[in-house]
Amino acid sequence: MYLPFSSVCDDFYVNMRLATQLSLPHNREVVLHFFERIQRQFPEMTRFRKYDNGDLSIEENRDNDAYRWVTLESRRLCAGHVNPESIEESLKLHSLLLQQVPYDLGFSAIEVDYLDVLFGFDLSFRGNHDEIIAESLLRDSPLACLLDEGGAKAVDIQPSITVALTEDCRLQARIDVVTRTNSYQVRTGDYSSNDVISVYLILRRYWGDRPKDPMEKIMAQMAERGEQLCMSHVIPRVLKPISAIIASRS
């Protein structure tokens, strides 16, 4: 795993999502050619799968600590690299995809809706996830006032905030905190599952202005900005407080 992030999470990943205005091709010849092109560059991506909803994917062995995956949906191309050794290493797959889609999928930049770069952090905790988030991120916030009620228990605390990073609002950044505790677990105290708390930093570039730079160049710039935001804000002000509270409960 990328060392600067290894001390604050159990798993780290960099995902890319390219959303389109029109449906992407799913016919046999086009899809096989596209996935074979990916496999030639990343020969460990051998697991091909078609889902009931029509989505198609190819991936490396998920039993490994680090692995890559690609999914072709109806109107999105998604990919990820779990526990990469560096940000640059994770971008190799994403750059290849963005370079190849115009040729392999007959894709035109004119149909792009948006491009996402997602930095994901998973933290393992067997207990009430929402309680952890309330204590670590909302302890002094007025939004946590209902927890002052006698016998109140946190059951759904998943803060999310989005900001525009440019004046035209086409480049936006969002932090999502995702908990996976349910009411049954809170009611019974049965936290036997190995669910994780996830923190996402998502940079989204809307394509309405039809930028002239290649998509892979824009994606690399977004990833660089995302890493800066992680180092300056997400790690010290979100991940470290969550990690500290989890450690105090161990």
Task: Write out pLDDT tens, residues 162-173.
Answer: 999 999 999 999
Mean pLDDT, residues 209-228 taken together: 92
pLDDT over 90 (residue 12)? yes
pLDDT over 80 (residue 3)? no
Q: At what angle do helices 87-104 and 215-229 cross, to 10 degrees?
A: 150
Closest C-alpha among 34, 126, 95 to residue 223: 95
Res 213: pLDDT: 87
pLDDT over 70 (residue 1)? no
Alpha-carbon distances of 12 from 1, 78, 158, 176, 230, rounded to whole Å: 7, 17, 19, 15, 12
pTM: 0.93
Closest C-alpha among 12, 11, 48 to residue 194: 11
Mean pLDDT, residues 127-156 taken together: 91
pLDDT over 90 (residue 177)? yes
Mean pLDDT, residues 140-145 taken together: 89
pLDDT over 80 (residue 250)? no
d(CA 18, CA 204): 10
pLDDT over 70 (residue 229)? yes
Mean model confidence pLDDT for the chain: 93
Each residue of 39-82: pLDDT tens digit? 999 999 999 999 999 999 999 999 999 999 999 999 999 999 99
Res 192: pLDDT: 81
